[in-house]
């Protein structure tokens, strides 16, 4: 299996929805923008948000196996741009498989 580098590249914060719906006792995901998280054997990297992992895991597995799961979607078939499913504080990730 290939190693997959996971880089959080953008965070979108919807303050209007947070104000309206969020329980103020909850805490946001603590991923660090532009930090490279390394997934070996398609496993969750140390210190990575488990909820974000559930959102991106299938893409990490596909890239780790060398499967082209994104035909026509990405210019480089060894990459994917995907996001977590947190509608209040969405984090967008760049995934890149490396040998």
pLDDT digits (tens, 9 = 90+) for 13-50: 999 999 999 887 666 677 889 999 999 999 999 989 88
Higher pLDDT, 57 or 68: 57
pLDDT digit string, tens, across residues 68-94: 666 567 888 889 999 999 999 899 999
- Give which of 87, 68, 79 is closest to 29, Cα–Cα: 87
Which pLDDT score, from 0 to 100, does residue 36 have? 97
- Give which of 56, 46, 42 is closest to 9, Cα–Cα: 56
């Amino acid at each position: 299996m290939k190693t997959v580098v996971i880089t959080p590249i953008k965070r979108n914060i919807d303050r209007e929805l947070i104000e309206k719906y969020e329980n103020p006792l909850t805490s946001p995901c603590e991923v660090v923008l532009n930090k490279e998280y390394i997934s070996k054997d398609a496993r969750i990297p140390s210190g990575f948000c488990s909820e974000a992992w559930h959102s991106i895991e299938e893409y990490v597995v596909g890239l780790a196996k060398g499967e082209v799961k994104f035909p026509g979607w990405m210019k480089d078939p060894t990459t994917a741009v995907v996001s977590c499913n947190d509608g209040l504080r969405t984090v967008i990730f760049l995934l890149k498989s490396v040998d």
